[in-house]
Amino acid sequence: MKDNNIFRPQMAEIINVERFTGLEKRFTIKLKGDSLRFSPGQFVMVSILGIGEAPISISSSPTNEGQFEICVRKIGSVTSYLHDLEVGATLGIRGPYGNGFPVEEVHGKNLVFVAGGLGIIPLRSFIKYSLEKREIFGDISILYGAKNPEEILFADELKEWSNREDISLQLTVDTPDETWKGHIGVITRLIYSAGIKPDNTYAFIVGPPVMFKYVIIELNAEGITDDRMYLSLERRMKCGIGKCGHCQTNNKYVCMDGPVFRYSQMKNLPEAL
């Protein structure tokens, strides 16, 4: 008999765990029932019995059927408990939720990904998809900024991407260490040197709210219009289905109307950014 309770999670198993930093781990998860079908930019509600539930972005490509990945920062009760789990442990999954990035809309377009800090996590899903389907997209530029080299996520993957000749990757950090050889400073400094071709380019921006304003200004200066920019917003989402109201921003529910929004639709809602 089909379970129609929208609040009851599906059971899932952790099949791999990888530590990135002192605060972040990557978990590979497999549902014990059907495979999770999702679009880049969507999220799931991860629950642990007796502890609670938290919204977490999916970081893997949707083409990897049968399993998916999340990258989790240890920051609260649910994520702290999750960090203590090992391969073989069981947890609950609801979702996927949200509207994701407009993947089909940008077929044949140039893509600029701008990630600040943890923003690389949801963007990675779309980046990996675009690299797997490289022939259906134009130029691809990836700009990623972190506080320091130790906080850079997916470092091995970034190294692989930097060696590709069919994409452009630039990294920057606010505070370098003695081994850092790359750019230093805020991420907006990378936009001018990205060689953006504005007429056929869409930008996807995810990061701390303070980053949005300045990235948008620089992208506008490069000729990318507001209707060709997409932002992914972070809010305190508790239910994922627009019932609790925790993520309501004006007349929008981030869990349902977002988390991905076209900037031209949000620019007149200052409380949203």
Same domain assignment for residues 204 and 127: yes
In the chain, the amino acid numbered 118 is: L
| pLDDT score recorded for residue 2 | 47
Please report whether residue 131 resides in a domain.
Answer: yes
Q: What is the dihedral of CA 91, 92, 95, 98, to 10 degrees?
A: -70
List, in sequence order, every residue forming a beta bridge with 146; answer none if it has no partner. Answer: 173
In a domain, 44, yes or no: yes
Residues 113, 92: one domain?
no
Q: Do 46 and 84 lie in a common domain?
A: yes
Q: 178 and 194 share a domain?
A: yes
Percentage of the chain exceeding pLDDT 90: 75
Which is it for strands 10-19 and 90-97: parallel, antiparallel or unpaired?
Answer: antiparallel
Residues 82 and 191 in one domain: no
Asked if residue 247 belongs to a domain, the reply is no
171: part of which helix (H) or strand (E)? Answer: strand 168-173
Contact 98, 237 (CB under 8 A): no
Is the pLDDT at 235 greater than 80, yes or no?
A: no
pLDDT value at 161 more than 90: yes
What pLDDT is recorded for position 185? 94
pLDDT of residue 64 exceeding 70, the answer is yes
CATH number at residue 48: 2.40.30.10
> Do 117 and 219 lie in a common domain?
yes
Residue 201 has pLDDT above 90, yes or no: yes
**Residues 108 and 222 placed together within one structural domain of the fold:** yes
In the chain, the percentage of residues whose pLDDT exceeds 70 is: 94
Give the confidence band of 4 by pLDDT, cuts at 50, 70, 90. Answer: low
Residue 244 domain-assigned?
no
Read off the CATH number of the domain in which 111 is found: 3.40.50.80
Q: Domain ends where: 75, 97, 119?
A: 97
Question: What residue numbers bound the domain in which 226 lies?
Answer: 104-232
**CA-closest candidate to residue 266, choices 252, 247, 255, 248:** 252
**Picking from 42-51, 118-127, 218-227, 261-270, which range would have the lowest pLDDT averaged per residue?**
261-270
Question: Looking at residues 209-219, what average pLDDT do you find?
Answer: 94
What is the DSSP annotation of 108-150?
Answer: TSEEEEEEEGGGHHHHHHHHHHHHHTGGG---EEEEEEESSGG
Strand 90-97 with 110-116, pairing: unpaired
Residue ending a domain, among 97, 114, 135, is 97
Quick check: is 80 in a domain?
A: yes
Give the end of a domain, one of 44, 71, 97. Answer: 97
Does 205 lie in the same domain as 127?
A: yes
Q: 267: pLDDT confidence band, cut at 50, 70 and 90?
A: confident
Q: How many domains does the chain have?
A: 2
Residue 197, C-beta contacts closer than 8 angstroms, at least 6 positions apart: 110, 139
Query: Residue 29 forms beta bridges with which residues?
Result: 14, 68
**Same domain, yes or no: 44 and 113:** no
Q: What is the pLDDT of residues 9-48, one digit of tens each?
A: 999 999 999 999 989 999 999 998 888 899 999 999 999 9
Q: Is 148 found in the same domain as 171? A: yes
Q: Regarding predicted confidence, which is higher, 197 or 146?
A: 146
Whether residue 78 is found in the same domain as residue 160 = no
59 and 132 assigned to the same domain: no
Q: Is residue 243 part of a domain?
A: no
Residue 271 in domain? no
92: buried, middle or exposed (CB in 10 Å: 19+, 13-18, 0-12)? middle
The answer to the question of residue 267 being in a domain is: no
3-state secondary structure of 185: coil
